[in-house]
Structures are given as C-alpha cells and as structure tokens.
Amino acid sequence: MLDLDKKYDELIDNLISNVPFKPEIGLVLGSGLGEFAEKTKIIKTIPTNELIGYPESTVEGHKGFIHFAEVNNKKLMIYQGRIHPYEGYNISECVLPIFIAYKLGVNKIILTNAAGGLNHLQPADLMLITSMISFNIKKQLGELIGLASTQARNNFFNFPSNRINDIIRNAALKEEVVLKEGVYWYSQGPSYETPAEIRMVHKLGGDAVGMSTVHEAIFASALGMEIGAISCITNYAAGISANKLNHQEVMETAELVKEKFEKLIKEIIQLM
C-alpha cells in the first residue's frame, strides 16, 4: 500500500483537514442511484474535482461528489460517483475512493451498482451480492495490494461480510423490500456483453453482470474492512430479451427502484 500512500499523500492530507467528522460507514452509489445522497442530512460536500489528483468520473449518472452526511445519527461518507476500470483508469486510481475511506477511519462499506440480470433476476429487482466472480481483475489488484499475503488471503474468507449480509437481509425483511440474492460477474467492459458471453456467465454461475464493484470489494476486504454489496438490476443481460442494451435503460430502471432502494439503504445503515 506504500505506493498509494506516496501517490495520494497530499490529497489525503488535504481531505483530512477538511472533513467535518470521522465517518463510520462508507457508501458507494452506483449508476442512477446517486439521488440517495439527497435523502440524507448532508453536512458537507466535497466535489472530487477540487481534490488534486482525483480521477474524473466520466460516466453519465456518476457525479463526482463525496458527501459527509448523517442518517439516523450514523456518520457516513457517501461517494456519488465511482471510478471504473472501463473508463481507462488503472486499478490504483479505481480503488482511490476506498483508500480514502480507509484513511479516514471507515471500516464498513456498502457498495451498490447497476447490473444486467439473468437467471432468476429481472429489471427493477434488488439483489444482495452473495459472491463475486472476477478472475480478470485479481492480477492487477494483486500487484497493488499483495493479494498473496497471508493477511489479504485471510480477509478474503469473509468477503462479502456474512455479518453485513445478514444485516442487509434483516433490513429488507423489516422494510418489506423484496431482496433477491445472487452472484455478481465482473465484466471488464467498456462494451456490454454479447449474448454468447451471457450464456457463458449463466453456465459458470453468474446471476448479474456489471463493470464495477469487485475491485472496490476486494481492495476493501484486503484492508480488513467489512463489505456488503447490492445490485440494482437495471436491464436483462444481453440476449435475454430482444431489446438492445443502452445506458438510458439503465438510468430509467434505476429511477423506478429509487424508493425501495432508499428505504432499504436507510434501514441497513440504521442496523449497522
């Protein structure tokens, strides 16, 4: 991690002197889900373009804001906007939000994303991520964090965190939000998958496909943080319906699930 310490030294020092409180929980809002931030008591917002060296978020629906906010008196750090490998950033840039959260003392993180669904999943479903398939990104992360170290390997056993997953299930029950469960398949992008690739994902055990989250999850768990992750299924994965995939559909479906997503996340935070 020394590389990151050196690379982002100034950015993190600046941020530490500007934060209004020490956050307990981190929340990363995925495509189209950013509006949740407006449902919280925002104490301070830091636009990421004011942070020297912070990569620019280039995707529609991803604002570049870090909010310091409260929900039911819990202190949160909320990323409205994330950095994806498919935008051309390298992995040390993509994990910066998690690294910053770690440096500020966050040890629990909820990651959210938009994903294409297959198997038992349909657009507008929320899916608790029970496991992730991500062969294609581990090597780069391994170089960054030494995934081969015993500590990183041990932390991997609880990834995502069973404790947080139980909290998420309980929150869904309490709020009467239907929450499906499944395995998230990391797709490198930048294009959506082909129907043939989705048939492969189906055969190999994936239930939802997306281009984010795993790098953050792996990095956070290697740092010893507890993570939980939720996908908002915004579209059928390629080839499952006759429709052509597009980012507009992703944004429109995310808009439809807004209410149940907000209820669920608020309750999760309450229970964490």
Residue 23 · residue 46 · CB < 8 Å: no
Residues 165-194 that bind ligand HPA (CB under 6 A): 187, 192-193
> What is the closest distance, in whole angstroms, from the C-beta atom of residue 179 to ligand HPA in the complex?
18
**Residue 72: count of CB within 10 angstroms of its CB:** 13
Provide the mask over 240-269, with x wherever binding to ligand HPA is found by CB under 6 A and - wherever it is not: -----x----x-------------------
Residues 220-239 that bind ligand HPA (CB under 6 A): 234-235, 237
Cross-strand bridge partners of residue 27: 78, 110
Cβ-based nearer residue to ligand HPA, 51 or 209: 209
Cβ–Cβ < 8 Å for 80, 67: yes
Residue nearest to ligand HPA (CB): 116
Separation CA 76–CA 79 (nearest Å): 10
Q: Are strands 226-236 and 108-117 parallel, antiparallel or unpaired?
A: parallel
Residue 34 makes contact with ligand HPA by CB under 6 A: no
Q: Which residues pair with 11 in a beta bridge?
A: none
The minimum distance between CB 205 and ligand HPA, in angstroms, equals: 16
How many C-beta atoms surround the C-beta of residue 13 within 10 A? 11
Q: Which is nearer to ligand HPA, 52 or 242 (CB)?
A: 242
132, β-bridge pairs: 184
Closer Cβ to ligand HPA, 34 or 210, answer by number:
210
Taking the complex as a whole, how short is the minimal distance between the CB of residue 257 and ligand HPA, in angstroms?
A: 13
Smallest distance from the beta carbon of 165 to ligand HPA, in angstroms? 22
To ligand HPA, the closest distance from the beta carbon of 10 in angstroms equals 33
Segment (H or E) for 251 = helix 247-271
Q: Which of residues 58-117 bind ligand HPA (CB under 6 A)?
A: 114-116
116 neighbors 238 (Cβ within 8 angstroms)? yes
C-alpha–C-alpha distance, residues 96 and 91, integer Å: 9
Give least dist CB 234 to ligand HPA, A. 5
Q: Which residues bind ligand HPA (CB under 6 A)?
A: 114-116, 187, 192-193, 209-211, 234-235, 237, 245, 250
